[in-house]
């Protein structure tokens, strides 16, 4: 085995947490020939009785390229069949205070993100694992203790009568995928000098269901958009579901939740801020959902390293829980698994693999964690600002007309590519410099041409003709300028 850290061969791995990330990790290890046991605190979510237990996470989420690539790299067929049930979202639909909607496409080349049922995705992964002979699934097992030097874990197993029994387990490698409040991480801290920080943001979230149209049974809003009601300090969003309903989330500072003291203030608030939502959900249901559903916090976690020698590694939210505003939490977790597997399957020893995994992954996860935090502001406020829209338009214009410049919006690189998160940031910084220069060149060129036209021929009539003849020259000159600058960089 690999217990002395010198020779790598598939051996016994224990994965803690059967959420989406843990389940995907189990699939990678199992297909790589490891003996896999997956331990989950809660009951099997495929059993209808246990559904309510898993209700602290929103019902649907946005999956994009990184998540899909994580799935595809281990099982292309499963991926295709999972994606059949996902709903494409081509852009944001912004709803203003009067109920007016305006669409903002995510990508000039029509690439899209997808709304997917979180529970179903998790179930499909568990179903797949169940088919494999080298995988065991253990539900109702909560990690209590990890003795990494001994290669031993203790789980508390919940019995059907509600009592607990202690279960001792040995393994060569422990993979912690047990979410933001990870016990694996907690225990690993005793073995390694682990830097750790966490931050709760001031907003809470609360979920609502928008049913299909009562008469037609159809979607009440365009299903191919992620709907946003941005209101500066708070926002409401809606993602489509297969059954033609929408799952909606209100993100709002805690004190604003506190100001809503009963059904009347709730309706008053919604009628003022999201008037269209009131009729779409219906007053009664709006009130019922608000009273019934929890107001849950949002945590951001950073830590380093993600591993201890050849014994233990943490992935997904356990390593880097982030606020949900870039729609990347699970996508990043799936990318973790693919990256971890790349290291394990190409490095000679497990300790080297885990070491190089942390080294590659930590800077990337810090970047997306920070971007997610910044995007909270973008989603609830900037998407409506003229400056933001102009910049987006200009970037997309360059992406369309000057592809050789390699200009892409950050959103497109994060959501539609597998470029390392940290490289995305580097490219964006480089682009910003170029954009600044091009922007000024365009402005100066425009003023120059306009001035010349005005002087030479009189105002608008012939000015336009001259502009068109000159356009080619100006554009060529700009391109040369940019090329020179890029070459000198
Ligand atoms: P989790 O999903 O938290 O799973 C951890 C599992 O470990 C759970 O099943 C838990 O029961 C189990 N566990 C916990 N403790 C123990 C223990 N001691 N022993 C054994 N098992 C244990 N991400 C996206 O990519 N796109 C989105 O659009 C998106 N939207 C989101 C919206 C909201 C409101 C929120 C809150 C999150 C959103 N996310 C989104 C983030 C996404 O939900 C998480 O990143 C993802 O669920 C992480 O998966 P995970 O498997 O690492 O952790």
Q: What is the pLDDT of residues 191-202, one digit of tens each?
A: 999 999 999 999
pLDDT in the model for residue 457: 64
Atom of ligand 1 nearest to the CA of 205: 34
- Cα 211 to Cα 221, 240, 246, 290, 487: the distances in Å are 11, 10, 7, 15, 56
Residue the block writes with tokens 């019995």:
159
The separation between CA 258 and the C-alpha centre of its own chain, rounded to angstroms, equals 29
Among the residue ranges 136-140, 328-332, 447-451, 480-484, the one predicted with the least confidence is 480-484
* Averaged pLDDT of the chain: 90
Atom of ligand 1 nearest to the CA of 62: 28
Q: Indicate if the pLDDT at residue 128 is higher than 90.
A: yes
Kindly give the distance from the C-alpha atom of residue 488 to the centroid of ligand 1, in angstroms, as a whole number.
Answer: 45
Q: Are 116 and 82 in contact (CB under 8 A)?
A: yes
pLDDT in the model for residue 2: 44
Residue 41 neighbours by CB distance under 10 Å: 20
pLDDT in the model for residue 280: 97
Closest C-alpha to ligand 1, atom 15: 178
Q: Provide mean pLDDT across the span 17-38.
A: 97
In the structure, what pLDDT confidence band is assigned to residue 468 with cuts at 50, 70 and 90?
A: low
Kindly give the distance from the C-alpha atom of residue 152 to the centroid of ligand 1, in angstroms, as a whole number.
Answer: 25
Q: Which of 15, 16, 17, 331 to mutate to test the pocket of ligand 1 (most atoms within 8 A of CB)?
A: 17
Q: Indicate if the pLDDT at residue 20 is higher than 70.
A: yes
Backbone CA torsion sign across 108, 110, 113, 115? positive
Q: Indicate if the pLDDT at residue 186 is higher than 80.
A: yes
Kindly give the distance from the C-alpha atom of residue 57 to the centroid of ligand 1, in angstroms, as a whole number.
Answer: 7
108 or 410: which carries more pLDDT confidence? 410
Kindly give the distance from the C-alpha atom of residue 36 to the centroid of ligand 1, in angstroms, as a whole number.
Answer: 20
Q: Identify any residues that bridge with 13 across adjacent strands, giving them in sequence order.
A: 36, 173
* SS3 state of residue 234: strand
97: Cα within 13 Å, side-chain hemisphere: 5
Q: Indicate if the pLDDT at residue 480 is higher than 90.
A: no
Q: Indicate if the pLDDT at residue 6 is higher than 50.
A: no
Kindly give the distance from the C-alpha atom of residue 19 to the centroid of ligand 1, in angstroms, as a whole number.
Answer: 6
Kindly state the percentage of the chain with pLDDT values over 70: 88
Atom of ligand 1 nearest to the CA of 249: 34
Q: DSSP string covering 303-370, please?
A: EE--EETTTEEE-THHHH---GGGS-HHHHHHHHHHHHHHHHHHSSSHHHHHHHHHHHHHHHHHHHHH
Atom of ligand 1 nearest to the CA of 331: 25
Among the residue ranges 6-20, 44-58, 334-348, the one predicted with the least confidence is 44-58
CATH T-level assignment (fold) for domain 12-87+116-197+300-377: FAD/NAD(P)-binding domain (3.50.50)
Kindly give the distance from the C-alpha atom of residue 27 to the centroid of ligand 1, in angstroms, as a whole number.
Answer: 17
Residue 99 neighbours by CB distance under 10 Å: 13
Closest C-alpha to ligand 1, atom 31: 324
- Tens of pLDDT, residue by residue over 333-349, are 999 999 999 999 999 89
pLDDT in the model for residue 470: 66
Q: Indicate if the pLDDT at residue 373 is higher than 80.
A: yes
Kindly give the distance from the C-alpha atom of residue 177 to the centroid of ligand 1, in angstroms, as a whole number.
Answer: 9
CA 61/CA 144 separation, integer angstroms: 30
In the structure, what pLDDT confidence band is assigned to residue 49 with cuts at 50, 70 and 90?
A: confident
Closest by CA to 444, choosing from 420, 472, 478, is: 478
Torsion angle defined by CA atoms of residues 71, 338, 173 and 5, in that order, rounded to the nearest 10 degrees: 150
Kindly give the distance from the C-alpha atom of residue 50 to the centroid of ligand 1, in angstroms, as a whole number.
Answer: 16
Closest C-alpha to ligand 1, atom 47: 330
Q: Are 25 and 177 in contact (CB under 8 A)?
A: yes
Kindly give the distance from the C-alpha atom of residue 317 to the centroid of ligand 1, in angstroms, as a whole number.
Answer: 6
pLDDT in the model for residue 1: 40
Using the 8-state DSSP alphabet, how is residue 197 labeled?
A: E
Q: Indicate if the pLDDT at residue 473 is higher than 90.
A: no
Q: Which residues line ligand 1 (CB under 6 A)?
A: 16-22, 39-42, 57-58, 61-62, 67, 142-143, 177-179, 183, 205, 249, 316-318, 324, 327-331, 333
pLDDT in the model for residue 3: 47
Q: Which of 14, 55, 178 to mutate to test the pocket of ligand 1 (most atoms within 8 A of CB)?
A: 178
pLDDT in the model for residue 376: 78
Kindly give the distance from the C-alpha atom of residue 327 to the centroid of ligand 1, in angstroms, as a whole number.
Answer: 13
């Amino acid at each position: 085995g690999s217990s002395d850290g010198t020779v790598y061969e598939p051996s016994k791995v224990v994965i803690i947490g059967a959420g989406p990330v843990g389940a995907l990790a189990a699939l990678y290890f199992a297909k790589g020939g490891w003996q896999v046991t997956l331990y989950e605190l809660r009951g099997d979510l495929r059993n209808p009785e246990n559904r309510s237990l898993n209700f602290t996470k929103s019902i649907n989420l946005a999956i994009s390229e990184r998540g899909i690539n994580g799935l595809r790299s281990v099982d292309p067929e499963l991926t295709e069949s999972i994606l059949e049930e996902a709903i494409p979202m081509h852009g944001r639909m912004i709803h203003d205070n009067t109920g007016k909607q305006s669409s903002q496409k995510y990508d000039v080349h029509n690439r899209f993100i997808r709304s997917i049922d979180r529970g179903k995705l998790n179930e499909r992964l568990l179903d797949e694992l169940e088919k494999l002979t080298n995988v065991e699934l253990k539900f109702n097992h909560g990690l209590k203790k990890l003795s990494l030097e001994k290669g031993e874990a203790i789980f508390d197993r919940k019995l059907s009568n509600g009592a607990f029994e202690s279960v001792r387990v040995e393994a060569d490698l422990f993979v912690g995928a047990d979410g933001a409040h990870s016990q694996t991480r907690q225990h690993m801290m005793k073995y390694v000098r682990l830097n750790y920080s966490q931050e709760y943001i001031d907003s809470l979230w609360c979920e609502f269901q928008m049913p299909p149209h009562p008469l037609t049974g159809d979607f009440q809003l365009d299903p191919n958009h992620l709907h946003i009601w941005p209101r500066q300090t708070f926002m409401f969003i809606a993602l489509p579901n297969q059954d033609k309903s929408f799952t909606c989330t209100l993100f709002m500072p805690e004190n604003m939740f506190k100001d809503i003291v009963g059904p009347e203030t709730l309706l008053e608030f919604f009628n003022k801020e999201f008037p269209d939502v009131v009729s779409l959900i219906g007053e009664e249901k709006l009130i019922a959902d608000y009273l019934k559903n929890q107001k849950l916090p949002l945590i951001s976690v950073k830590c380093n390293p993600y591993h201890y020698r050849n014994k233990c590694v943490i992935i997904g939210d356990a390593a880097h829980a982030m606020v949900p505003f870039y729609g990347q939490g699970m996508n990043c977790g799936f990318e973790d698994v693919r990256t971890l597997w790349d290291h394990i399957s190409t490095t000679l020893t497990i300790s080297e693999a885990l070491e190089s995994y942390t080294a590659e992954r930590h800077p990337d996860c810090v970047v997306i964690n920070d971007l997610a935090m910044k995007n909270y502001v973008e989603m609830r406020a900037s998407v409506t600002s003229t400056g933001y829209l102009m910049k987006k338009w200009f970037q997309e214009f360059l992406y369309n007309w000057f592809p050789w410049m390699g200009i892409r919006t950050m959103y497109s690189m994060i959501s539609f590519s597998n470029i390392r998160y940290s490289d995305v940031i580097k490219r964006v910084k480089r682009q910003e410099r170029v954009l600044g220069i091009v922007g000024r060149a365009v402005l100066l060129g425009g003023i120059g041409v306009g001035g010349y036209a005005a002087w030479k021929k009189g105002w608008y009539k012939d000015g336009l003709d001259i502009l068109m003849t000159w356009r080619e020259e100006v554009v060529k000159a700009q391109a040369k300028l940019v090329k020179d600058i890029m070459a000198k960089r």
